[in-house]
Structure 1
């Protein structure tokens, strides 16, 4: 499902808005936020469900990093800049793996005369955002 598809524009988007604002109208703010997360994951997995575990692990990792950086999260004493650096490097490494693995393999093959098969990885939707 694409943002400009009929399924998205005439079904998914209006249904998502309706349910979200219905939950907000009932003062179920946490349920409304949970629904938005569920709807986002549903939309993401509609494209390719194989990448759903990847986005879930990425979300969990970034949630933990964010909570560790939070001033109110006092149970763990860590160096905040180190945690931030780990989070940024891990996210860039994930992006780099999907975006540049074939490029690096191709250049390795050219440089050393090898014949390593390309991986032809599809860049997961929204991973660079």
Structure 2
């Protein structure tokens, strides 16, 4: 029994490799999409979907600054840090009750919050 093969060849000298794909593999892939199975929570598009609209401009400004700086290899970690922090912010900012809690902080209504000393072991020693 002879198997049909399609040959994929990229004609540039940087990638001179032929890849043969068997008929079974091609049939297997017919129902697949090009969408990723899981996206990273630190994916900028994922952050924008989660983030309330009033924060989009600030996020995009900080993201683009970090992205531009990441062209310097030693600054790449800063881009990852920005995305990580904005993911955490997006989770917090989109949580029900966040706006009310933020207003309580602005009005110094400390009685509505649990102190760090009660929640984080060893907090007083860190001060």
When Rg is computed on C-alpha atoms for both structures, the one with the higher figure is 2
TM-score above 0.5:
no
Whose helix fraction is larger, Structure 1's or Structure 2's?
1
Whose strand fraction is larger, Structure 1's or Structure 2's?
2
TM-score normalised per structure 2: 0.32
